[in-house]
């Protein structure tokens, strides 16, 4: 700085230029102009206010960023603010002028205009330009510049985006490089540009638009302002309001104070007043709300908000978003919402309170962030407060109080809402990186445990928690924890991890959850719960303990005292020593119980010193008594029966192991004469049930089971077993292996289901023997025994004196094909055995012996294949009877019952007599006679003669030259033989199928249906043979012939079509009988393809003759032919020139005649009649139905006439009265059920000549 001060005096002009150095000027009154020469402009200077002096630093162009202290040319104006220097203006070489300006203490240049048109050029710093009268040109240059129109006498409109001003002092202003506007005290319009603008509204109803950028819209004073932030992140500020404001971005009608009437558009942030208690509410966007001074209430609403309380005792409310709350100085209250909230606390922030809302925020991810200067070591943690926790319990110490070194506090209400170890907040973050969470507070708590009863909890790590005295409740949470209950009645829960729980003294409760845990109860009557998925070690210690092993595996040492051990879903190893007292083990049985448990006895307990007793009302429990008087009671270990030990194994110190076999063996070795349930082992057992009704199961091994006296049940199980029922009515069951099943005395039931060979001995008594499978040798013994054969291969032994036995080959409804054999004992000779059908049945055979004994073979005959289900009967003399042998004897004993018979290889004559018989001829030229009844005869091989006889019979032939004679009845005759067969239906309505070689077929009397495939078939027909139908299986089956008897003459046969397709031929005979030949005509040529019709007089009709008779080309001298239609809904058509008399009969018939003078009788049913050419007469009697005449010729002298009988119409007048026209037809209506329709005839066509009447 220059040493001497240069005075500026009078009305003078002073010039400065580069290179003058550092000059220091004093001031003097007067008008003085400071001129900067040498091309110096305003932008070449940095202007500062330093210690009251105005300093111009002339920037070195070569080093524009050099420190101010290094600048060579500096001009100081002494005490600029205090002195009146009289400087009117500063002039620069480019014409720029600064006049009457000040430089503010913050370095902002303050420029004042004149009443004329001024030009303002700012600096690179922060300039404030006061608008004045005149059209000014304003260029703020660099920095953040502001135009101030406070002195305007009218409202101004300033638009920074266009650079235009109007109204008041802004009229005609041209503006550039200006960022902020201060409006007038009138109604202004202030519009920003795309930068970050700061617009100030004063009194009046102002309109502020921020435009682009992050703008600040300052609403001062009264007036209803319109505040539009535009794009960007914009803020409304009420800092200089003289009273509290209420601002609601969601509902602006709630606004009050200076904000009353204000309208917000695109406003994101709000700043309240400096000193008053404001109420500010955000909207759904991301808001920043700053209460500034005063006791404010700030609510962020929805969105991720930042809420700053500032000075004062504020209330800050978080909304649904993730909000940041900083109360600032003062005693503030925080309320957090549904999002994740971050709270800020610094030294000096006072006594703040955080209020939880557990109903809406259950995530507990909130956090407190502490400012610098707050270290964990300086924070005092206290629990306090009363209230109701989540579970409805009234508790103390719900709140967390943090006290800081400056005396400030932070109180988190209901921080332990879930319990004393359930920190329901989130995390506390210190500036040194330390984070406190629920684990931290749990650890603080258990590290300071006392002798009082407390609830303590661990962390996610490995904790050691000592409850010391008192009745404590301790949970380890995660990690491998060591929980020590200490004195008192404690509850310890290991939770996750491999934990070590020590109950200590007192009656404690220990719970092991997951992992491999050690549960040590210590002294007292303790309760253990093992719920692990691993393996727990349970040490009961002294006292009467309750131990529950509920899952996983457990090693249990109940210790001294009378302990109760419950097993449900767990596999356990129990240790018991002399001196352990009276312990009880109880198993809960389920479908997935493994029963792999074991008991390990300590040294000093030997097997021979243990007394074993079964206890309980059904002896399902086991009591072990030791030499010291101690006991071990195993409850319900014979749950599934007295021989099903459902526990596991008992291990002695000498290596002895007891298991279910041991207890079964103890039981059967001490069997008595009472009724017992006994079972064997996996080895070879001999079990004697002695007296009583015993149940004995051998299990595995080759066992010898002896029922003894009483009605016993013996089960061999696996292995080759020997079962002896002994006296009484016993049940013997042989399963796998080769067994001996000996019923002994009594009426025994013996089951053989072996996959090997069983030997069954019924013994004395009426026994029931069931051979299910395998190979079985059965000697039923004396008495009337019943043997059922299912899927087994059976050899039966029978001796004289064995009684009346029955063998059923169809047990369970299945006929078996195994190789069975009956072996007869000494003294039974073939010629002394009677073979008959059992009670006349077709499937069963009765063998009767000389001593009166019998063997009834039920269902031994297969009725379809006619063979035996018994391969052979073997006599002691070597004679063997097979099916042929037995069948010969059966054929000699035919009856009037329903017989099932099969011939031999010879030429048999078999007469079934009465009954519904089934007879197979088999080989040979057989003569089979069904006799009375509905029989089935099968020819078999050879040239056979089958006679059905009376009844509806079935006759079958497949080979040979056969005669099949159905006889009386409705028979079914089928021939598939390729040789010539003669098929005779006999009387009755027969079905005949000739499906082989050339055949002679005579249906006989009755209505027969004949299907033929063979060519050269000859059909025989006589008067009286009825209405027959012939149908070929193929239209190529021809030539065939029909041979008529002597009573059928060519002149008596009427030839006609049957169907409209003209494919079927109807032959009608003098007695009314008919033959219908189905598809007699070739579909392509319409030629008669059947063959020939042979008459007894030598006449032969060929296809040409048939065609002539159908077309009417034959002579017409023959007399009229009479046709009667017998069936329902018949169709009769002829092209013959003959005269026809056709009776429709019942049904809805169609009759069509061609040339000739025909008589058509409609009769009952709705008939359609067509007379064709000639003089036709139509006859109607009562109940003729609703008939139609299709070709009636009407009028005087008509060739057609309608004849009415009595009971219909009496006169022509009656007919006309009953006639009405329907479209082109006439309907003559007799009554509702009877009418005649004349097609294509009108009433005017009718004449009396058309009708004839009975009267």
Q: Mind listing the pLDDT tens digit for each residue in 985-1019?
A: 999 998 988 887 778 999 899 999 988 875 678 98
Nearest 5 degrees, angle CA 307-CA 311-CA 315? 50
Burial annotation 795-834 (CB, 10 A radius, 16+ → b, else e):
bbbbbeebbbbbbbbbbeeebbebebbbbbeeebeeeebe
Q: Give pLDDT, residue 296.
A: 96
**What are 972's strand-pairing partners?**
954, 991
Do residues 566 and 543 make contact, with C-beta atoms less than 8 angstroms apart? Answer: no
Among residues of the chain, what percentage have pLDDT more than 90? 50
Mean of pLDDT values over 481-498: 93
Mean of pLDDT values over 957-969: 90
Greatest mean pLDDT range, 494-508, 913-927, 1184-1198:
494-508
Of 1133, 1132, 1175, 1182, the closest CA to residue 1156 belongs to 1175
Mean of pLDDT values over 960-983: 88
The segment(s) of the chain belonging to CATH 2.150.10.10 are 1121-1253
Mean of pLDDT values over 895-910: 72
- 1078-1089 pLDDT, tens digit per residue, is 888 766 666 777
Q: Would you place residue 369 in the very low, low, confident or very high pLDDT band (cuts 50, 70, 90)?
A: very high
Q: Give pLDDT, residue 915.
A: 83
Q: Give pLDDT, residue 1137.
A: 59
Mean of pLDDT values over 682-694: 90
Q: How far is CA 1090 from CA 140, 983, 1018, 1104, in A?
A: 127, 19, 11, 12
Q: Give pLDDT, residue 17.
A: 79
Q: Give pLDDT, residue 1113.
A: 37
Greatest mean pLDDT range, 883-887, 924-928, 1014-1018:
924-928
The yes-or-no verdict on residue 104 having pLDDT over 80 is no
Q: How far is CA 635 from CA 617, 645, 1018, in A?
A: 12, 11, 93
Class of the CATH domain delimited by 1121-1253:
mainly beta
Q: Give pLDDT, residue 605.
A: 97
**Higher model confidence: residue 774 or residue 277?**
277
- 1090-1105 pLDDT, tens digit per residue, is 889 999 999 999 888 8
- Look at the alpha carbons of 828, 834, 839, 842 in this order and tell me if their dihedral is positive or negative: positive
Q: Give pLDDT, residue 199.
A: 96
Do residues 587 and 639 make contact, with C-beta atoms less than 8 angstroms apart? Answer: yes
Q: Would you place residue 105 in the very low, low, confident or very high pLDDT band (cuts 50, 70, 90)?
A: very low
- 106-123 pLDDT, tens digit per residue, is 445 666 666 788 777 776
- 4-24 pLDDT, tens digit per residue, is 456 665 556 667 778 888 877
Record the tokens describing residue 875, joined without a space.
Answer: 């006599």
Q: Give pLDDT, residue 970.
A: 93
Record the tokens describing residue 697, joined without a space.
Answer: 């199961």
**Mean per-residue pLDDT over the chain, rounded:** 86
Do residues 732 and 749 make contact, with C-beta atoms less than 8 angstroms apart? Answer: yes
Of 209, 217, 223, 259, the closest CA to residue 235 belongs to 217
Which range is least confidently modeled, 33-47, 574-588, 768-782?
Answer: 33-47
Q: How far, in Å, CA of 535 to CA of 541, rounded?
A: 19
In which order are the strands placed within the sheet that holds 749-752?
677-679, 695-697, 713-715, 731-734, 749-752, 768-771, 786-789, 804-808, 854-858, 845-848, 834-837
Record the tokens describing residue 294, joined without a space.
Answer: 């005063």
**Higher model confidence: residue 1242 or residue 639?**
1242
In which order are the strands placed within the sheet that holds 22-26?
5-7, 22-26, 74-77, 53-58, 45-50
Q: Judging by DSSP bridges, how do beta strands 611-615 and 621-625 pair with one another?
A: antiparallel
Q: Give pLDDT, residue 709.
A: 94
Of 1201, 1214, 1208, the closest CA to residue 1252 belongs to 1201
Q: Give pLDDT, residue 1117.
A: 30
Mean of pLDDT values over 522-545: 95
Q: Give pLDDT, residue 362.
A: 52
Mean of pLDDT values over 156-184: 96
The yes-or-no verdict on residue 1115 having pLDDT over 90 is no
- 1170-1203 pLDDT, tens digit per residue, is 888 888 899 888 888 999 999 999 988 878 999 9
The yes-or-no verdict on residue 816 having pLDDT over 60 is no
Q: Would you place residue 1 in the very low, low, confident or very high pLDDT band (cuts 50, 70, 90)?
A: very low
- 634-660 pLDDT, tens digit per residue, is 998 887 777 777 889 999 999 999 998
Of 761, 756, 765, 770, the closest CA to residue 742 belongs to 761
């Amino acid at each position: 700085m220059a040493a001497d001060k240069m005075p500026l005096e009078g009305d003078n002009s002073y010039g400065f230029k580069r290179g003058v150095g550092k000059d220091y000027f004093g001031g003097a009154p007067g008008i003085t102009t400071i001129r900067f020469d040498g091309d110096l402009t305003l932008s070449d200077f940095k202007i500062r206010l330093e210690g009251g002096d105005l300093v111009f630093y002339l920037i070195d162009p070569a080093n524009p960023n050099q420190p101010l202290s290094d600048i060579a040319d500096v001009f100081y104006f002494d005490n600029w603010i205090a002195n009146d220097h009289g400087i009117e203006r500063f002039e620069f070489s480019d014409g720029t002028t600064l006049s009457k300006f000040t430089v503010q203490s913050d370095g902002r240049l303050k420029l004042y205009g004149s009443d004329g048109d001024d030009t303002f050029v700012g600096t690179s710093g922060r300039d404030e330009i006061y608008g004045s009268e005149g059209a000014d040109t304003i260029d703020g240059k660099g920095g953040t510049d502001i135009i101030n129109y406070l002195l305007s006498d009218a409202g101004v409109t300033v638009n920074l985006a266009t650079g235009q001003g109007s109204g008041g002092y802004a009229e005609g202003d041209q503006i550039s490089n200006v960022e902020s506007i201060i409006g007038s005290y009138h109604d202004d319009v202030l519009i920003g540009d795309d930068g970050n603008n700061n617009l100030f509204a004063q009194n009046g109803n102002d309109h502020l638009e921020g435009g682009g950028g992050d703008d600040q819209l300052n609403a001062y004073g009264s007036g209803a302002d319109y505040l539009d932030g535009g794009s960007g992140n914009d803020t409304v500020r009420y800092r200089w309001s003289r009273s509290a404001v209420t601002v609601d971005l969601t509902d602006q009608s709630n606004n009050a104070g200076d904000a009353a009437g204000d309208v917000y558009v695109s406003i994101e942030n709000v700043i309240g007043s400096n000193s008053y208690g404001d109420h500010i509410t955000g909207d759904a966007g991301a808001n920043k709300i700053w209460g500034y001074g005063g006791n404010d209430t700030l609510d962020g609403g929805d969105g991720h908000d930042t809420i700053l309380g500032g000075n004062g005792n504020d209330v800050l409310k978080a909304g649904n978003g993730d909000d940041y709350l900083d109360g600032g100085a003062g005693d503030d209250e925080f309320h957090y919402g549904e999002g994740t909230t971050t709270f800020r606390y610094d030294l000096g922030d006072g006594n703040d309170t955080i209020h939880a809302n557990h109903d809406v925020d259950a995530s507990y991810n909130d956090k407190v962030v502490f400012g610098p200067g707050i270290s964990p070591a300086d924070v005092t943690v206290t629990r306090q407060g009363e209230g109701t926790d989540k579970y409805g319990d009234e508790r103390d110490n719900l709140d967390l109080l943090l006290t800081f070194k400056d005396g400030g506090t932070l109180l988190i209400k209901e921080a332990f809402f879930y319990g004393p170890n359930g920190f329901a907040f989130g995390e506390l973050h210190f500036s040194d990186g330390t984070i406190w969470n629920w684990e931290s507070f749990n650890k603080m708590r258990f590290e300071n445990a006392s002798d009082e009863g407390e609830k303590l909890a661990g962390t996610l790590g490995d904790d050691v928690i000592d409850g010391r005295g008192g009745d404590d409740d301790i949970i380890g949470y995660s990690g491998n924890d060591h929980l020590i209950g200490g004195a008192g009645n404690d509850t310890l829960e290991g939770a996750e991890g491999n934990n070590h729980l020590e109950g200590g003294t007192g009656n404690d409760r220990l719970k092991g959850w997951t992992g491999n845990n050690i549960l040590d109860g210590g002294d007292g009557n303790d309760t253990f719960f093992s719920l692990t998925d691993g393996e727990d070690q349970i040490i009961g210690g002294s006292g009467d303990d309750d131990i529950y092993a509920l899952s996983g595996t457990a090693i249990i040492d109940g210790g001294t005292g009378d302990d109760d051990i419950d097993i449900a879903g767990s596999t356990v190893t129990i240790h018991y020593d002399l001196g352990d007292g009276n312990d009880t083990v109880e198993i809960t049985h389920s479908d997935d119980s493994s029963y792999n448990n074991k008991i390990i006895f300590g040294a000093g307990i030997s097997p021979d010193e243990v007394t074993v007793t079964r206890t309980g009302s059904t002896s399902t429990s086991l009591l072990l008594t030791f030499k010291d008087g101690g006991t071990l009671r195993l409850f319900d270990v014979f749950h599934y029966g007295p021989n099903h030990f459902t526990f596991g194994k008992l291990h002695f110190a000498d290596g002895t192991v007891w298991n279910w076999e041991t207890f079964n063996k103890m039981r059967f070795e001490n069997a008595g004469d009472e009724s017992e349930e006994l079972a064997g082992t996996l080895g070879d057992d001999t079990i004697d049930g002695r007296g009583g009704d015993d149940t004995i199961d051998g299990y595995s091994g080759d066992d010898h089971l002896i029922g003894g006296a009483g009605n016993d049940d013996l089960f061999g199980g696996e292995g080759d077993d020997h079962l002896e029922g002994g006296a009484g009515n016993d049940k013997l069951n042989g399963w796998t292996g080769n067994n001996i099943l000996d019923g002994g005395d009594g009426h025994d039931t013996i089951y053989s289901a072996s996959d090997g060979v069983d030997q069954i001995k019924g013994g004395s008594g009426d026994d029931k023997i069931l051979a299910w499978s395998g190979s079985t040798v059965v000697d039923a013994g004396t008495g009337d025994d019943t043997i059922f054969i299912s899927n087994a291969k059976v050899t039966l032994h029978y001796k004289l004196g064995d009684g009346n036995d029955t063998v059923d080959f169809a047990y369970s409804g299945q006929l078996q094909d195994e190789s069975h054999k009956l072996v007869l004992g000494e003294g039974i000779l073939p010629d002394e055995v009677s073979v008959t059908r059992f009670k006349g049945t077709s499937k069963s055979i009765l063998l009767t012996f000389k001593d009166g004994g019998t063997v009834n073979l039920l269902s031994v005959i297969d009725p379809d294949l006619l063979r035996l289900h018994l391969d052979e009967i073997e006599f002691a003399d070597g004679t063997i009877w097979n099916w042929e042998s037995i069948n010969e004897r059966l054929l000699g004993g035919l009856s009037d019952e329903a017989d099932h018979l099969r011939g031999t290889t010879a030429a048999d004559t078999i007469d079934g007599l009465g009954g519904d018989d089934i007879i197979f001829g088999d080989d040979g030229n057989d003569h089979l006679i069904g006799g009375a009844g509905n029989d089935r005869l099968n020819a078999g091989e050879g040239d056979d003669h089958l006679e059905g006889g009376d009844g509806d019979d079935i006759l079958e032939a497949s080979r040979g030259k056969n005669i099949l004679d159905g006889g009386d009845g409705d028979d079914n005759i089928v021939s598939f033989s390729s040789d010539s067969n003669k098929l005779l239906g006999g009387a009755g309505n027969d079905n005949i199928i000739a499906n082989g070689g050339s055949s002679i077929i005579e249906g006989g009397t009755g209505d027969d249906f004949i299907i033929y495939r063979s060519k050269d078939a000859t059909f025989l027909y006589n008067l009286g043979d009825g209405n027959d139908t012939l149908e070929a299986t193929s239209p190529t089956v021809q030539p065939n012939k029909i041979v008529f008897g002597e009573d059928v003459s060519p002149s008596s046969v009427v030839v006609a079509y049957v169907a409209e397709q003209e494919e079927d031929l109807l032959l009608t005979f003098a007695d009314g009988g008919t033959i219908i030949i189905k598809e007699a005509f070739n579909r392509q040529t319409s030629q008669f393809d059947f063959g020939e019709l042979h008459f007894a007089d030598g006449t032969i009709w060929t296809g040409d003759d048939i065609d002539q008779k159908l077309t009417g080309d034959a002579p017409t001298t023959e007399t009229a032919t009479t046709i009667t239609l017998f069936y329902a809904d018949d169709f009769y058509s002829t092209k013959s020139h003959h005269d026809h008399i056709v009776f429709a009969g019942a049904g809805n018939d169609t009759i069509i005649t061609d040339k000739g003078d025909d008589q058509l009788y409609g009769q009952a049913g709705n008939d359609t009649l067509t007379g064709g050419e000639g003089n036709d007469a139509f006859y109607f009697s009562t109940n003729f139905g609703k008939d139609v005449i299709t070709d009636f010729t009407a009028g005087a002298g008509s060739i057609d006439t309608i004849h009415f009988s009595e009971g219909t119409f009496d006169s022509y007048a009656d007919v006309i009265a009953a006639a009405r026209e329907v479209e082109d037809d006439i309907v003559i209506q007799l009554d509702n059920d009877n009418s005649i329709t004349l097609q294509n005839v009108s009433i005017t066509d009718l004449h009396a000549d058309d009708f004839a009447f009975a009267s």
